[in-house]
Chain A
Amino acid sequence: MERVLRTYEEINEKIRSGKVVVVTAEEVIDLVAEKGVEKVAQEVDVVTTGTFGTMCSSGAFLNIGHTKPRMKIHEAYLNGVMAYVGLAAVDLYIGVTQPAKDDPLNKVHPGEFKYGGGHVIQDLVAGKDVLLEAYAYGTDCYPRKHLVTWINLRDLNEAYLFNPRNAYQNYNVAVNLSSKTIYTYLGVLLPNLGNAGYSSAGQLSPLLNDPYYKTIGVGTRIFLGGGVGYVAWQGTQHNPGVERTERGVPKGGAGTIAVIGDLKGMSPHWLWGMSIRGYGCSLAVGLGIPIPILTEEILYYCSVRDEEILAPVVDYSHAYPYGTGEILGYVSYAELRSGKIRLGGKEVPTSSQSSYARAREVALILKSWIQEGKFTLTQPAFPLPGVESGVRFRNLVERPASVNSELVGR
């Protein structure tokens, strides 16, 4: 058993007395290079991480309050974007990838996807009025059938972000081997290996600094959208069992987290509506997690550098859409961030989808919150499933059904 250097309680005591030592996941790299793991682990109490990028599996629950007469909403739109209402009377969930109802989608390819659920959330946190349009079939206890009103975040009973999958631990690098430009969630990809799209904060990214989930678990308090949130569960598609490098870094998309937090404390600077050409709408989320340096080993993992984090290069014109699993090779985040990678003897310019500058800002803000005594650490109530859990991400095994007459969709 590894020697415990400090406990959560001891760290929080130091935060309260203003004596805590905090560095970011970027700053810790040079410190460790200079002084070594052992010494730095003695000195540093907390390492802060950060990321800011498009996270499609995000959305918010809103309770708008009851109308008079009462209404059990059956269909609702926020600024023209459909919200999910299959919940209690005035509870709504607005998902970030939902485009506006009148969006032409990809009818003229590549579609612009100007406004969607992510933009609604950004407008709400910016304090803007949002138009709610709601319909119902009417019941004895909820007779009202129609409602059009402005709503504002400050008046909502509850409004909380609940993102089923955020902060992917590593991700693909997308390229295009075909002879046509393609439009993907990893950006515009020019033909014949014209560029490469990637999306991870690498050495600053939360789960890449705690590769075996030794400190990040259910209940961990985090920076979310400029406010405070919590890890609610493992994220969807959590896949801890992917191949790892010698220092434990997964060589592809692995762990994920579901997160929750009060929208009322968040900021439009950190929840940014995205319009991804030819793909759809989404939301860029700022998210940061503090890592308590409980042991030397935990500090060692935090000192991971972009050079040591490898991402798989995948052809998004064929291998990705058709799920062939083919990987063209691996490149490090140091290469990706240099602006060019080498693939098959060719120099390929890179386009990032997640902002390293903003990731750094998240880690620095979280650091200052902790130093100023505004943010204490929580011990997880429950760990995320680890490598040994056997939890695996599976593809759907289709079981074709011949029930055409009973189908209800279009």
Chain B
Amino acid sequence: MNATKKVVLRFPSDIADRPLVCELALQFGLRFNILRASISPHREGIMVMEVIGKEKEEIEAGLQYLRQEGIGVESLSQDIRMVEARCVHCGACVGVCPTEALFMEKPSYLVRYDESKCIACEMCILACPTHAMEAVI
């Protein structure tokens, strides 16, 4: 029986270039699928991945290691959805979205959401003044 867990990793800009994720395989015998990743200059890097191990405890030990190395680790338990009827197309979410999943369509200037680019960082939920962006558990 395998255990799996989907997690969001946040890399502060100063450690984004260290190959810490490989250690999950080398030290902890875990496998992982990278689902989405976004590392842009001057910003924290974000990676969403599925970690696979024999037991839950192994996965937790690996994640604990990443935390000690300064990486933010959160479980990805949700998808993000845009409730279009509540969106006033202000654009407050656009500049905080790290992956351009939210963008301003031109020339209509309507704000669009491309779910396939979303890494569930939830920044848009903080930024949206109309509760149009929400997490679906």
Contacts and interface: CB of A to CB of B under 8 A. Distances in A.
Interface of A: 52-54, 110, 114, 183, 187-188, 190, 192-197, 272-277, 282, 284, 337, 339, 346, 349-358, 360
Interface of B: 42-43, 88-96, 103-104, 108-110, 123, 126-127, 129-131
15 contacts: A187-B92, A187-B127, A188-B127, A197-B95, A274-B129, A337-B104, A339-B94, A339-B103, A346-B42, A349-B96, A350-B91, A351-B96, A353-B90, A356-B109, A358-B89
A52 B129 contact: no
Contact of A352 (B90, B103, B108, B123): B90
A165 to B, nearest CB: 19
Nearest to B87: A355
Contacts of B131: 114, 275
Nearest to A199: B90
A357 B96 contact: no
A275 to B, nearest CB: 6
Contacts of B126: 110, 183, 188, 277
Contacts of B93: 351
Contacts of A353: 90-92, 129
A32 B1 CA distance: 72
Contacts of A110: 126
Contacts of B89: 355-358
Contacts of B43: 190, 194
B104 A358 contact: no
A275 B92 contact: no
Given A188-B127, A274-B130, A349 B90 contact: no
A391 B103 CA distance: 41
Most chain B beta carbons < 10 A, residue from A52, A114, A357: A357
B96 A187 contact: yes
A273 B109 CA distance: 21
B101 to A, nearest CB: 13
A192 B129 contact: no
B42 A194 contact: yes
A1 B65 CA distance: 78
A284 B95 CA distance: 19
Most chain B beta carbons < 10 A, residue from A275, A339, A350: A339
A183 B95 CA distance: 14
Contacts of A339: 94-95, 103-104
Contact of A351 (B88, B95, B109): B95
Given A188-B127, A272-B88, A360-B109, 18 more contacts: A53-B90, A187-B127, A188-B92, A188-B96, A190-B43, A195-B96, A197-B95, A273-B130, A277-B126, A284-B129, A349-B94, A349-B95, A351-B92, A351-B95, A353-B90, A353-B129, A355-B88, A356-B109
A193 to B, nearest CB: 8
A355 B91 CA distance: 7
B88 A350 contact: no
Contacts of B96: 187-188, 190, 194-195, 349, 351
B100 to A, nearest CB: 9
Contacts of B104: 337, 339, 352
Given A355-B88, A356-B109, A276 B129 contact: yes
A163 B108 CA distance: 29
Contacts of B42: 192-194, 346
A284 B130 CA distance: 10
B110 A357 contact: yes
A358 B88 contact: yes
Contacts of B90: 53, 284, 352-355
B45 to A, nearest CB: 13
A274 B43 CA distance: 28
Q: Which 6 A-B pairs have the closest CB atoms?
A: A351-B95, A352-B91, A195-B95, A274-B129, A356-B109, A349-B95
A351 B127 contact: yes
Nearest to B43: A194
Contacts of B130: 272-275
B94 A351 contact: yes
Contacts of A352: 90-92, 94-95, 104
Contacts of A357: 89, 108-110
A12 B87 CA distance: 36
B10 to A, nearest CB: 13
Contacts of A349: 94-96
Contacts of A188: 92, 96, 123, 126-127
A352 B109 CA distance: 11
Nearest to A195: B95
